[in-house]
Every structure is written in C-alpha cells, then in structure tokens.
Amino acid sequence: MSPALERIKGVAQVTVSGGVYTISTGDDAFHADEALTVSAREINILTSYEGLEGTSVSVSGGTIYIVSSDDGVSAAGGADGSGFGGFGRGTPFGGNSGSLIHISGGYLVVRAGGDGLDSNGNAIMSGGTVIVSSTGQGDGALDYDGSFTLSGGILLAADSGAYRRWLAVFAVLAFGLFLLAKWAFMGHSSFYFTFAEQWWYPVWVMAVGLALSLYWFRRHGQKNGTISKWLVLALVVVLVFGVGTMAWNWHVFDSSFLDGYAEVYPLVIPWQVILQRELIINGGVVCALIALAGLILAKCYDRRWLALYTLAVTVAAVCGFIIFFCRSIDIGYAIRSSAQSYLFARLIPIGAVGLIGTGVALC
C-alpha cells in the first residue's frame, strides 16, 4: 500500500478475518462508522492517525502491532472525519454508552501518541495479551468514560504523562500522611498560621487528601472483580478503632471526669488519660501508615482500596485534632464544663465527611 493514504474503511461495519496486512497511512488504518471486528492473522500498522476505530471495536485474535499519532484503538462513535488532524469528528468529547472496546484474544501491541485504548463508553478485556503505551502529555494508556472490566488475559499499560502525574499526586498525598504521622507523634506543628488554631491543621490535610485522591482514582483508577474480603476486614478494623477512640475521648472529656482529674493533676495522671494519649498518638501514626498502604493497593490492584485510605486518613486526622486540642487547653473550670461539647461538635462532622468519602471510594 502507498505510504501516506491507503487504509481500510467501511461505511457501517468492517470485519477483518484472516490474512496479513501492512499499512502505513496518515489517516485511520482500519475504520468503521459502527462495528469493527478484528481476528486477522497478522496486522502491522507502521504509521497512522488512529489504528483501529469504530463505535465498537472487537479484537478476538491475531497478532497486531499499532503505531499511531493519536489513539491506538478508539471506540469513539460517529462518522469518519478524523484523518489528517482529527477535524470534524462526530463526537470528540463526552461519553457514548454505545461505545465499547472488547478484547477477548490475540496479541496486541500499541504505541500511541494519544490514548492507547480510548473508549467513550466501556472497555472489556477477557483474554489475550495487550501491551499498550502512550507518549502523549495529556493522554493515557487507558482512557474510558464508563468502566474497564478486566476478567482475563494479560495487560501491560504504561504512559509517561500519566505516570508523572501519578507521582505528583502520590507525593502530595504521601506528604500529607507524613504530616499527620508527625503531628500525632510529636503533638505539635513546626509551622503556625495566625488565622486558625493548630488543631485544624490535620483536618486541612484530610480535606485535600480526600478531594485529590477521589478525583484521581475516580478518573484514572479501575475496579477489578468483586470487592476484596481483605479490604472489608481492613475497613472494619479501622472503623472499630476510630469509633472506639471517639467513645473513649467522650468519656475522658466528660466534665465529671475532668473535675476529678483537675484535683490530682499534675501529681497523678489517671490511667484513662494515659490510655487516651496512647490511642491517639499510636493510632494516628498507624492509621497514616494504613492510609499509605491503601493508596498503593488502590493504584496497583483495585481503586476501591482507596476506601481504606479515606477511612484511615479520617481517623488519623481525628487523632491529630484531639492531640492538638489537648495540648492547647488547660483544665480550668470553664474549659472542663464545655470541652466535651466543643470537641465533639467538630469531630462528628469530620467523621461524617470521612465516612461519605469512604462510601464514594467503594462505588
């Protein structure tokens, strides 16, 4: 075929079955306005704008090598108009519930300048081997508006732009967890903002972490199969610890207990206060580490592990809030009579936000 123009195009449906194809074009190599089905013995796309494009793209066999300046495999929908720069595409933005990429077999290698596999709807991989990479700054190896279901086969996806963005997101979230662990362990911050009390610092970290992580993983993460029983177990453990810590602090900040504490302080520190201190210090550090593990598992296995991050970072923020609060007040009568109501009027909304974030992460 001639090196700049030739391609295979169908007005409605295109089926490529058997044979050996070598294509070099400045347009889409294989294009169907509706369904594109591929089970060829061998396809070599040396250059193209998009390698395989249709409203739905199904690959069930063959050895396929794709080099594209834009998307490698695109289920975008709409009539053709993408050649030579992509002007006039039917639906360049937004979702399309009829768009689908389905890979059930074959060996597919994609090197794309845009998205590697791009579906305006869903993507399913149930078999075969897919090796896909993207060099686009604003693109990714996998891009889908609906869901990506991986039930079989081997998938290796890498893109330099998304990897750098993930490292930036991970660095911000990990630094926030480091601050939470440090504040819980040391009980104070090395910097100070004049417009807010220090006990709000952990809440700021939690708010940024929840917003950033939920946005990133809802957009770029993927769910794999049913929810892990280990995730459920970890969530139960963190939740029980968080509720238990809140309940114990409710007891310690009760005015009658504080009245008795004030009479013996500083000669005697009741065991209840010692236990409270150990719970919030060690609990804050451990929950920060658990949250870090949740982040890594969400990236490597299933985005729903983000629920562990959101719940653990909430408990760590609550522990930080309490320890800062304890270190910044005295136990005078005015404080003793209102400490419990003041503290829990703030802790309960913080916990509720964290639980909502956990629920969203599980969806």
With a cut of 80, say whether residue 211 has pLDDT above it.
Answer: yes
Share of the chain above pLDDT 90, in %: 44
Instruction: Give the model confidence (pLDDT) of 228-253 as tens digits.
Output: 999 999 999 999 999 999 998 888 87
Range name among 35-39, 140-144, 192-196, 349-353 with the lowest pLDDT average? 192-196
Give 134's pLDDT tier (boundaries 50, 70, 90): confident
Bigger pLDDT: 274 or 43? 43
Instruction: Give the model confidence (pLDDT) of 324-360 as tens digits.
Output: 887 776 555 446 667 788 888 989 999 999 999 999 9
Give 83's pLDDT tier (boundaries 50, 70, 90): very low
Quote the pLDDT of residue 107.
95
Range name among 47-56, 178-187, 216-225 with the lowest pLDDT average? 216-225
Quote the pLDDT of residue 266.
59
Quote the pLDDT of residue 195.
56
Instruction: Provide mean pLDDT across the span 280-295.
Output: 93
3-state secondary structure the chain: CCCCCCCEEECCCEEEECCEEEEECCCCCEEECCEEEEECCEEEEEECCCCEEECEEEECCCEEEEEECCCCEEECCCCCCCCCCCCCCCCCCCCCCCCEEEECCCEEEEEECCCCEEECCEEEEEEEEEEEEECCCCCCCEEECCCEEEEEEEEEEEEHHHHHHHHHHHHHHHHHHHHHHHHHHHCCCCCCCCCCCHHHHHHHHHHHHHHHHHHHHHHHCCCCCCCCHHHHHHHHHHHHHHHHHHHHHHHHCCHHHHHHHHHHCCCCCCHHHHHHHHHHHHHHHHHHHHHHHHHHHHHHCCHHHHHHHHHHHHHHHHHHHHHHHHHHCCCCHHHHHHHHHHHHHHHHHHHHHHHHHHHHHHC
